[in-house]
Structure 1
Amino acid sequence: MGRGGQREAEEEGVMATDFFWSYTDEPHASRRRQILSQYPQVKELFGPDPWAFLKITVVVLLQLWTATALHNAGWLKMLAIAYCFGSFLNHNLFLAIHELSHNLAFSTPVYNRWLGIFANLPIGVPMSVTFQKYHLEHHRFQGVDGIDMDIPSKVEAHLVTNVVKKAIWVLLQLFFYALRPVFLKPKPPGYWEFLNLFIQIALDVSMVYFCGWKSFAYLILSTFVGGGMHPMAGHFISEHYVFNPDQETYSYYGPLNLLTWSVGYHNEHHDFPRIPGSKLHKVKGIAPEYYEGLESYKSWSQVIYMYIMDRTVGPFSRMKRKPSKSE
């Protein structure tokens, strides 16, 4: 189904049965060239965030301390704290890992990798090294069928067909996000994946041994609830799910950018992945005419609500393109 077919589905008030198919290149490379040609000073924003190490360290230590403090807490109390507090910390660390996948803490790539493994600790499940492999492909091959694992599989899209199923999918979207590449495009693990795994297991086992199962459960709960029906998880949907057939990537300009490494500036991020989140707002300030005409969001919670309740929107609401011969 092309864009015309998608529009027909929208007009009929039913969910589309195929993706949006684009027959042009992704929009970010061309916009990057245009902006740099007109505003070469944007290059001055390139490079690491000097405060990244400190920010990550504070969040990691705070979350691990919280986990130890809850070793005797009741399950209801633990769940409440995990949703209202721990989820924000762990999602912050997930997006710190996103930042580190672009080598935006240190100029030396291996230091970013080590810091990513450290940032991974409170998340409870090893993912930092593997995430980088797939995420860089998402940037290089945005929307390319069979390569960009950010896009839901056809199995997901055919199963998630109504409001109730979409709500369940949102609740479990972190599992789909994490497991989709394993089934569709598995990559053989290397030295760094095993290192990430062993260090994470060492932390998890130590947490259980010294503090008990509840401390470890708090970390896992913080990760799970923070990636599902949660305001910060709205960015998973807001970034590339197509609510406007003429736009592929969307930015969010709300207050949660302060807790999420400004990942909401997503058009700006894809245009300039070498600029740290702390400076992405400056791109919009330097070249406002390139972004002010694009649709954007001010609430991630509203995006989740729109996704679930709009009967014409679902996992098929993503832009895809055929791979070129070189891919």
Structure 2
Amino acid sequence: MGRGEDREGVAAAGGFFWSYTDEPHATRRRLILSKYPQIKQLFGPDHSAFFKISGVVLLQLGTGALLHDAGWLKIFLVAYFFGSFLNQNLFLAIHELSHNLAFSTPVYNRWLGIFANLPVGVPMSVTFQKYHLEHHRFQGVDGIDMDVPSLTEVRLVKNMIAKTIWVFLQLFFYAFRPLFLKPKPPGIWEFINFSVQIALDVSMVYFFGWKALAYLILSSFLGGGMHPMAAHFISEHYVFNPDQETYSYYGPLNYLAWHVGYHNEHHDFPRIPGNKLYKVKEIAPEFYDSLASYRSWSQIIYMYIMDRTVGPFSRMKRKSSKAE
């Protein structure tokens, strides 16, 4: 299907793919639950989340402390080959917590998210939840879903070199896009998140020096750029097949990524924690086996950069029903 053609309610115009049907997940959720109501038994928190998050936070902060007087090359190598995996793990733990999947009481999830945020180096857990829940409710809706790249990105990122730079910096685009396009006034929880994070950063510098903090921030930057773990940003919703707007990844890195690779399953059932999403596919395979999916996140980055027909514009968008 070429851009500009119509097929099953999808058209390509202005660079993006435009859908004139509802997002697919609510419909598939209803169909699956009507056939397999036992899936509701998977709903609820992952009671091991607190212990897993605590272990990673302490391990990453401890690693930063141990590297306080290391050379910059060693800090870079440890950050890329070790710390980046830990910080992406924590970023995706924050994603889990944004859906209240560690505790039944929402405020406990928010506090755990602020704790999980500590090794990331910059405050983001509270703000992330605000925008991410809109991504689920209004997937692809123009002007609301801030997961979709901006027109500026589409206009600037048009060739292999630009896409390579974009991949290196995609974490910055992901973080700052909503702040420029759809800023939300901060509340008390953003202030708490900011205060706790700055207190941790200052403490790291005071007790262990600037290199300890630099290691944490470098781990976040490297893990969110040209890195296998960061490929989930691309694999989840970038359209390689015009008939499909959400894609799952079934490779081994799911074990480090809170199984966020099961992304069709996650959008279909956001109340199911990551460690149980594989059961959705096992119970209802006929709903997922026919969908395109991935086995390698590294391959996704290569495909994204090398394929001239793919770029920031390769996203499905739809108009808000309120505007119709």
Common topology (TM > 0.5) = yes
Count of residue correspondences: 319
Residue 16 of structure 1: how far off its partner (Å): 8.2
User: Is 1:71 aligned to 2:42, yes or no?
Assistant: no
Matched ranges for 1:212-231 at <5 A: 212-231=209-228
Q: Which residue of 1 aligns with 2:154?
A: 157
Residue 326 of structure 1: how far off its partner (Å): 6.9
TM-score (norm 1): 0.96
**Match for 2:254: what amino acid?**
N
User: Is 1:169 aligned to 2:166, yes or no?
Assistant: yes
Residue 252 of structure 1: how far off its partner (Å): 0.1
Q: Which residue of 2 aligns with 1:315?
A: 312
Q: Which residue of 2 aligns with 1:293?
A: 290
2:211 & 2:170 partners in 1: Cα distance? 24
2:197 & 2:170 partners in 1: Cα distance? 22
**Match for 2:317: what amino acid?**
K
User: Is 1:28 aligned to 2:25, yes or no?
Assistant: yes
Matched ranges for 1:102-117 at <5 A: 102-117=99-114
Question: Aligned pair in 2 of structure 1 residues 216, 58: CA closer, same or farther (>3 Å)?
Answer: same
Structure 2 stretches lacking a partner, 5+ long: 7-11
Q: Choose the corresponding residue for 2:54, options 41, 57, 61.
A: 57
**Match for 2:77: what amino acid?**
A
Any idea what the Cα deviations from partners look like across 1:55-100, whole Å, max 9, x if unmatched? Answer: 0000000000000000000000000000000000000000000000
**Match for 1:180: what amino acid?**
R
Matched ranges for 1:262-277 at <5 A: 262-277=259-274
Runs of 4+ in 1 over 2 A off after TM superposition: 3-8
**Match for 1:314: what amino acid?**
G
Q: Which residue of 1 aligns with 2:9?
A: none
Residue 5 of structure 1: how far off its partner (Å): 2.6
Residue 240 of structure 1: how far off its partner (Å): 0.2
- Conserved? CA contact 1:104–1:274, under 8 Å: yes
Secondary structure of the corresponding residue to residue 298 of structure 2:
helix
**Match for 2:193: what amino acid?**
N
Matched ranges for 1:161-240 at <5 A: 161-240=158-237
Q: Which residue of 2 aligns with 1:134?
A: 131
**Match for 1:190: what amino acid?**
G
**Match for 2:141: what amino acid?**
V
Any idea what the Cα deviations from partners look like across 1:13-68, whole Å, max 9, x if unmatched? Answer: xx985100000000000000000000000000000001000000000000000000
User: Is 1:283 aligned to 2:307, yes or no?
Assistant: no
Residue 311 of structure 1: how far off its partner (Å): 0.5
1:40 & 1:273 partners in 2: Cα distance? 16
1:312 & 1:105 partners in 2: Cα distance? 40
- Conserved? CA contact 1:17–1:158, under 8 Å: no
